[in-house]
A and B are shown apart, each in its own frame.
Chain A
Amino acid sequence: MNTTVEHTNITILRPPGRWEFIDFKELKDYRDLLWSMVWRSIKVLYAQTIMGLGWAILNPFIQIILFSVIFGKIAKLPTDGVPYVLFSTVAVIPWTYMSQAMTQSSQSLISGQLMLGKIYFPRLIFPLTPVLAKLVDFAVSLLLLVAIMIYYQVAPNWNLIFLPFFVLLMVTIPAGVGMFLSAFAVRFRDVKHAMPFAISLLVYTAPIMYSASSIPADYRIWYSLNPVVAVIEGYRACLLGTPLEWAYIVPGTVTAIILLLVGALYFRRMERVFVDVL
Chain B
Amino acid sequence: MNANNFAIEVEGLGKRYRIGLKEERHENLAAALVDFIKSPLRNYRQYRSLYDFSDISPEQMDEESDDVIWPLKNISFNVHEGEVVGVIGRNGAGKSTLLKILSKITPPTVGEVRLKGRISSLLEVGTGFHNELTGRENVYLNGTILGMRKREVDRKFDQIVEFSGVEKFLDTPVKRYSSGMRVRLAFAVSAHLEPEILIIDEVLAVGDADFQRKCLDKMQDVGQEGRTVLFVSHNMNAITRLCGRVILLEGGRVVMDGPAHDVVSHYMSSGAGLSPEKVWPDLDTAPGDQVVRVVGVRVRSEDGQIRRWADIHKPIVIEMEYEVLEGGHDFATYYNIFNEEGVKICTSIDRNSGWHNRPRPVGRYISRVQIPRDLLNEGLIFITPVIKNMRSKLRHFYMREAVGIQVVEGVKDETDKSGFAVNLGGIIKPNWPWETDYLSDKERKNAAV
A200 touches B (CB below 8 Å): no
A120 touches B50 (CB 8 A): no
Complex Cα spacing A112 to B294, Å: 51
B115 touches A11 (CB 8 A): yes
B152 touches A1 (CB 8 A): yes
Question: B123 — which chain A residues lie within 8 A by C-beta?
Answer: 118-119
B144 touches A (CB below 8 Å): yes
A16 touches B (CB below 8 Å): yes
A24 to chain B, nearest CB (A): 17
B106 touches A32 (CB 8 A): no
B382 to chain A, nearest CB (A): 26
- Which residues of chain A in 221-271 are interfacial with respect to chain B, using CB atoms and an 8 Å cutoff? 270
B359 touches A (CB below 8 Å): no
Complex Cα spacing A150 to B169, Å: 46
Question: B111 — which chain A residues lie within 8 A by C-beta?
Answer: 14-15
B133 touches A40 (CB 8 A): yes
A55 touches B (CB below 8 Å): no
B74 to chain A, nearest CB (A): 14
B288 touches A (CB below 8 Å): no
- Which residues of chain B in 178-208 are interfacial with respect to chain A, using CB atoms and an 8 Å cutoff? 194, 196
A188 touches B (CB below 8 Å): yes
Known contacts A8-B1, A9-B118; is-contact A121 B107 (Cβ 8 Å): no
9-residue interface stretch from A42-50, A79-87, A154-162: A42-50
Complex Cα spacing A40 to B173, Å: 12
B140 to chain A, nearest CB (A): 6
Complex Cα spacing A33 to B143, Å: 8
Interface flags, B105-130, vs A, CB<8A=1, else 0: 11111111111111101011001101
Interface flags, A51-75, vs B, CB<8A=1, else 0: 0000000000000000000000000
Interface flags, A125-139, vs B, CB<8A=1, else 0: 000000000000000
Complex Cα spacing A205 to B145, Å: 39
Question: A119 — which chain B residues lie within 8 A by C-beta?
Answer: 103, 105, 121, 123-124, 127-128, 145-146
B149 touches A32 (CB 8 A): yes
Complex Cα spacing A119 to B128, Å: 9
Complex Cα spacing A11 to B2, Å: 13
B105 touches A16 (CB 8 A): no
A115 touches B128 (CB 8 A): yes
B130 touches A120 (CB 8 A): no
A276 touches B133 (CB 8 A): no
Interface flags, B132-155, vs A, CB<8A=1, else 0: 110001001100111111111000
B166 to chain A, nearest CB (A): 19
A10 touches B116 (CB 8 A): yes
A44 touches B130 (CB 8 A): yes
A44 to chain B, nearest CB (A): 5
Interface flags, B371-393, vs A, CB<8A=1, else 0: 00000000000000000000000
B77 touches A (CB below 8 Å): no
Q: Among B44, B107, B144, B173, which residue has its beta carbon within 8 angstroms of that of A33?
A: B144
Known contacts A119-B146, A187-B50; is-contact A275 B133 (Cβ 8 Å): no
Complex Cα spacing A213 to B113, Å: 59
Q: Among B104, B110, B141, B149, which residue has its beta carbon within 8 angstroms of that of A120?
A: B104
Q: Can you name the residue of chain A whose Cβ is closest to the Cβ of B150?
A: A32
B256 touches A (CB below 8 Å): no
Known contacts A11-B115, A13-B107; is-contact A121 B149 (Cβ 8 Å): no
A217 touches B (CB below 8 Å): no
B145 touches A33 (CB 8 A): yes
A111 to chain B, nearest CB (A): 12
B150 to chain A, nearest CB (A): 4
B51 touches A (CB below 8 Å): yes
Complex Cα spacing A188 to B50, Å: 12
Question: B313 — which chain A residues lie within 8 A by C-beta?
Answer: none
Q: Can you name the residue of chain B whose Cβ is closest to the Cβ of A32?
A: B150
A126 to chain B, nearest CB (A): 12
B117 touches A9 (CB 8 A): yes
A37 touches B (CB below 8 Å): yes
B17 touches A (CB below 8 Å): yes
B residues sitting closer than 8 Å to A (CB atoms) are: 1-2, 17, 44, 47-48, 50-51, 100-119, 121, 123-124, 127-128, 130, 132-133, 137, 140-141, 144-152, 173, 194, 196
Q: 30 A-B Cβ contacts within 8 A?
A: A1-B149, A1-B152, A6-B117, A6-B196, A7-B116, A10-B115, A11-B104, A11-B113, A11-B115, A12-B113, A12-B114, A13-B108, A13-B112, A15-B107, A16-B107, A30-B147, A32-B148, A33-B145, A39-B141, A40-B137, A43-B133, A44-B133, A48-B132, A114-B127, A119-B127, A119-B128, A119-B145, A188-B44, A188-B47, A276-B50
A residues sitting closer than 8 Å to B (CB atoms) are: 1, 3, 6-16, 30, 32-33, 35-37, 39-40, 43-44, 47-48, 114-121, 187-188, 270, 272-273, 275-277
Instruction: Give 5 nearest A-B pairs by CB, closest first.
Output: A120-B104, A273-B51, A33-B144, A47-B132, A13-B113
Other A-B pairs beyond A7-B196, A15-B109, A118-B123, 14, CB < 8 Å? A1-B152, A6-B117, A7-B116, A8-B1, A12-B115, A15-B108, A33-B144, A40-B137, A117-B100, A118-B124, A120-B104, A272-B107, A273-B51, A276-B17
